[in-house]
Amino acid sequence: MIFAKQLTKSYKTKTEEVKALLSVDLNISKGEMFGVIGPDGAGKTSLFRILTTLLLADSGSATVNGLDVVKDYAKIRQQIGYMPGRFSLYQDLTVEENLQFFATIFNTTIEENYSLIKDIYEQIAPFKDRRAGQLSGGMKQKLALSCALIHRPVVLFLDEPTTGVDAVSRKEFWQMLKKLKNDGLTILVSTPYMDEAEQCDRIALIQEGKILMNNTPEKARASFTEPLFAIRSDNMYKLLHDLRDVNLVNAAHIFGEYIHISSPFINQETIVEELKLKGHNQIQLIQIDPSIEDVFIKLLTHLESHEQISE
């Protein structure tokens, strides 16, 4: 459904050239929910804009539903739904007027495709006469999604749809996306939040314009082969520094209430003993399954060490 080959894009500023994308390859099948996961500035938005025909790549090629993003841009624009990073709604138009407008510019009517957006739109329908600018983040998000779906697109592009939205709305949003996917829609979604990766069929981890990994969440997690432990004590700050002093640990990163440590030869008892000697109390050490965030950190660490070598 979506195919990209060696997409490269850079922006020139006065002083330097910023590389937004470095030879990005993608292959997304029909009906798949694909997540592009990476921090702000990793190149997610550039990738989305190239695929939605809003930006020309410097080199490489891409197709959406078999159509070339450069040659067939007009056809692609009729077939895709796009929700850019900010909820692009008219703040001074009401909920209904916004939806009506987007339906008309896509040559359709609300009635024609109402079945598709019914579940989503019903949640905001009580506020249909309210101006979009006066909606909460969650409701804006639902309205923007309705607007992007109103013409029954074959592919849905969602660029950071959950940024600035509270946890309840985020959860509801992912449920809506799952339902759309089950209806056969292909969805490309980006997010800076690692915990949302699990919701996708496949994910690409992206950093500084490069895709570091492209896999299913399960396989991504399975790629973390070293044993991983979560540890905590009564003095976390000291614990972090003490752990880094211990030669037995490869990496130590704060993870919420715990610190995650990994090493191929980790010996739980030795570590606990050593930390007790350093004055830690209430030490808790448990082996855990790696999360996508652990995987991403590991990939980033590799990337940095490689860069240092090449420098």
Partner 1 sequence: MKQFRAFIKKEWFHIFRDRKTVFILFGMPVIQILIFGFALTNEVKNANIAVLDYSKDAKSIQLIQKIDASKYFDVYSSLNRASDIDKVLKSGKVKMVIVVPQGFTQSLEAKHKVSIQLIADASDPNFATTLFNYGTSIINDFQKQYFIEKIPLVVTPEIRMLYNPQLKGAFNFVPGVMAMVLMLVSTMMTSIAIVKEKELGTMEVLLASPLRPLLIIISKTIPYLFLSLINITTILLLSVFVLDLPINGSVFLLVILSMLFAITCLSLGILISSSTNSQQVAMLISLMGLFLPTIMLSGFMFPIENMPLPMQFISNLVPAKWYFYIVKDVMIKGLGIGSIWKEVLVLFGMTIFFLVISIKKFKLYLS
Partner 2 sequence: MSKLANNEREVVISATELTKQFGDFIATNAITFEVFRGEIFGFLGANGAGKTTAMKMLCGLSTPTRGRATVAGFDVSTESEKIKKNIGYMSQKFSLYEDLTVTENIRFYAGIYGLSIPVIKEKTAALLQQLNMKSQKNVLVKALPLGWKQKLAFSIAIIHDPAVVFLDEPTGGVDPITRREFWEMIYAATNRGTTAFVTTHYMDEAEYCNRISIMVDGKIEALGTPADLKSKFNSETMDDVFLKLARNAKRIGD
Check residue 193 for interaction with partner 1 (CB under 8 A): no
Distance CA 228, CA 295 (A): 11
Contact 203, 37 (CB under 8 A): yes
Residue range at the interface with partner 1 (CB under 8 A); choices 95-103, 233-241, 269-277, 297-305: 95-103
Joined tokens for residue 258: 């715990």
Distance CA 167, CA 164 (A): 10
Angle between helices 114-124 and 137-149 (to 10 degrees): 170
- CB of residue 51 vs partner 2: minimum separation in angstroms? 21
**Which residues in this chain contact partner 2 in the complex, by CB under 8 A?**
13, 15, 38-42, 135-139, 163, 165-169, 171, 192-195, 207, 234-237, 240, 253-257, 281, 293, 296-297, 300-301, 304
Joined tokens for residue 100: 């009506």
Of partner 1, partner 2, none, which one does residue 59 interact with (CB within 5 to 8 Å by kind)? none
Instruction: Give the nearer residue to partner 1 in terms of CB position, either 78 or 175.
Output: 78
Instruction: Give the nearer residue to partner 2 in terms of CB position, either 151 or 260.
Output: 260
Check residue 13 for interaction with partner 1 (CB under 8 A): no
Distance CA 32, CA 147 (A): 21
Check residue 301 for interaction with partner 1 (CB under 8 A): no
Angle between helices 236-245 and 268-277 (to 10 degrees): 120
Instruction: Give the nearer residue to partner 2 in terms of CB position, either 157 or 174.
Output: 174
Binding mask 25-54 for partner 1 (x = CB under 8 A): ------------------------x--xxx
- CB of residue 245 vs partner 1: minimum separation in angstroms? 48
Contact 268, 285 (CB under 8 A): yes
Contact 293, 258 (CB under 8 A): no
Helix/strand/coil for 152: coil
DSSP result, 289-303: PPPHHHHHHHHHHHH
- CB of residue 218 vs partner 1: minimum separation in angstroms? 33
Q: Which residues bind partner 1 (CB under 8 A)?
A: 49, 52-56, 73-74, 77-78, 80, 82-93, 97, 100-102, 104-107, 147-148
